[in-house]
A and B are shown apart, each in its own frame.
Chain A
Amino acid sequence: MKLFSRRFIRVWQRNLDVFSTIWHTEAPGFAAEPVIILLAMGLGLGAYVGMVDGQKYIAYIAPGIIASYAMFSATFECTYGTFVRMEYQKTFDAIIATPLSVGDVVAGEIFWGATRAFMTGTTILIIAAAFQLVHSPWALLIPPLSFLEGVMFSSIAVFFTARAPTIYIYNYYYTLFITPMFFFSGVFFPLTSFPEMVQRLSWVAPLTPVTTLTRALFNGEVQPSLLWALGLIVGITALFFPLALRTMRRRLTV
């Protein structure tokens, strides 16, 4: 059975329309905050840290900031955003009474979340370039990677949202899943600085392959051995995308 149809684009368009009227209230989250973190940590902490893996600290964390804020964008959109549309505004109930199916709604939400990740990743990349941190043409592949990363994190988020009994449950999602990844997926420090036990946990976090891959593209150090990271991202997405769809169908079509 087909998971979704081309009509998913209607849901994506709807979300884009809404975003285009409120983007300025979202900008602090996807542009200002990452820049603040980049400068505060990169310059402030960087003054003490010196060089990491042979490069300036700010250049080391820049790709990690891209990867993690792309994750945040997709995750916010498909946790709080999706939950409000689903539960408080009943938007999905209205949509599935038209020729669109639950599959179309879910795909629209996930690809919209991915679009937000793409926008965030691209914005930070441009800012990093303005700070003359970007030197390799491989960096042009970072925006599509952010999109793929967005599909993955949106799928996981929609899967969780489909089972969320209340909006408060996201406290767990952020505290136990998202925030630890921000610190333990190689954004700020190389994984090798952690004890082996923590390292092992880091390797199962979905943000780790994204950070690794984004950093490789950022630095132009691309090698075939990175394919495992890409494979991991694709694999997690292939698992959670249909799961998100199935759980959401169960929730919406009772």
Chain B
Amino acid sequence: MVIIKTQNLSKKFKDLLAVDSVNLEIGEGECFGLLGPNGAGKTSLIRMITAVSPPTQGDICVMGKDLKTHARQVKAVIGVVPQIDNLDSDLKVLQNLLTFSRYFDIPKDEARRRAMEVLRLFELESKLNSKIGELSGGMKRRLLLARGLINMPKILVLDEPTIGLDPQAKYLVWHKLGELKSEGVTQLLCTQNMEEAAVLCDRVAIMHLGKVLNIETPQNLISKYIGKEVWEIGVNSDEREKTVKELEKRGLDFENVMGGIHIFHVETEEQVSGLSLPIGKLRRRPATLEDVFFRLTGRSLIE
């Protein structure tokens, strides 16, 4: 069943088209990733889907309800974990959750029960009377995640949920998100961490300059654009021209990168053997989503 559907969704700021006719269909229980460089339009897109920013054009349907007319009902079943820390720094940790519960009209006793549960889930029980200012960056992020679950959302929208987390906390969060998925919570995950997308997402959309370029499973994206492995050649500028000619002659799919060349879709070792290269300059490694990301969005800085 489709739980989030956007049709021709666009957002325009003055002379910038931040989101350009995006069509998405996200299934119930799916973890859907939104990848893209800075300024690709990811945050603008999720702000529209979470009903805090009105679209310039197009329609959004969440759980069969038109967002234009049912914003309140939709927001009641969405949990939002924002990229920017907007915890209420006037309130302590537990108060943050209880106050937030009140925005959802959750009765007092139930709110307290849920608050303790989500604090336990993200290992923050010992901090319940701490001030927000006393928390580390990682704890704040975990508290944002905990807060996003307080209304027991059917849809969880996460904007860079593990940014700035240490590896321990990152794996804790990944594990919890995996558990939520198995409980049937749909997730819309906006991330720049390709490993995160590969681990968590059923499908990913790659966004670039406001447009969705591709929607696939991470595995399909990798095999489609990169193949199983990437062969990396380290070359200096003198060697580059010669190597490029040779690769072209062999009909290989490759890309010039800083300090070297990446070769994709290598089926057999013969295709790359015998390249006249200095020893030790050829390295093979498994292809990742990051390779796809670079191929689709380019290597230059966008801003």
Contacts and interface: CB of A to CB of B under 8 A. Distances in A.
Interface of A: 7, 10, 13-14, 17-18, 85, 89-91, 93-101, 252-254
B75 interface: yes
Given A93-B52, A253-B52, A253-B53, A98 B103 contact: yes
A98 B73 CA distance: 10
Given A96-B52, A97-B52, A90 B103 contact: no
A93 B86 contact: yes
A89 B104 CA distance: 20
Contact of B84 (A7, A10, A17, A90): A90
Contacts of B95: 17
Interface residue tally of chain B, by bracket? 20 to 34
A99 B105 contact: yes
B236 to A, nearest CB: 48
A94 B100 CA distance: 9
Contacts, number: 65
Interface string B86-116: 1111110001000110111100000000000
A93 to B, nearest CB: 5
A213 to B, nearest CB: 34
Given A91-B90, A94-B100, A252-B52, 11 more contacts: A10-B102, A13-B102, A17-B95, A85-B90, A89-B88, A90-B86, A91-B86, A97-B52, A99-B73, A99-B104, A254-B53
A147 to B, nearest CB: 23
A21 to B, nearest CB: 8
A95 B72 CA distance: 12
Interface of B: 13, 50, 52-54, 71-73, 75-76, 78, 80, 82, 84-91, 95, 99-100, 102-105, 151
Contacts of A17: 91, 95, 99
A103 to B, nearest CB: 11
B91 A18 contact: yes
Given A10-B102, A13-B102, A97 B72 contact: no
Contact of B50 (A18, A85, A91, A97): A97
A229 B22 CA distance: 55
A141 to B, nearest CB: 32
B222 to A, nearest CB: 33
Given A100-B103, A254-B13, A94 B82 contact: yes
Contacts of B84: 90, 93
Contacts of A96: 52
Contacts of A101: 71-72
Contacts of A98: 75-76, 100, 103-104, 151
A91 B88 contact: yes
A14 B85 CA distance: 18
Nearest to A88: B89
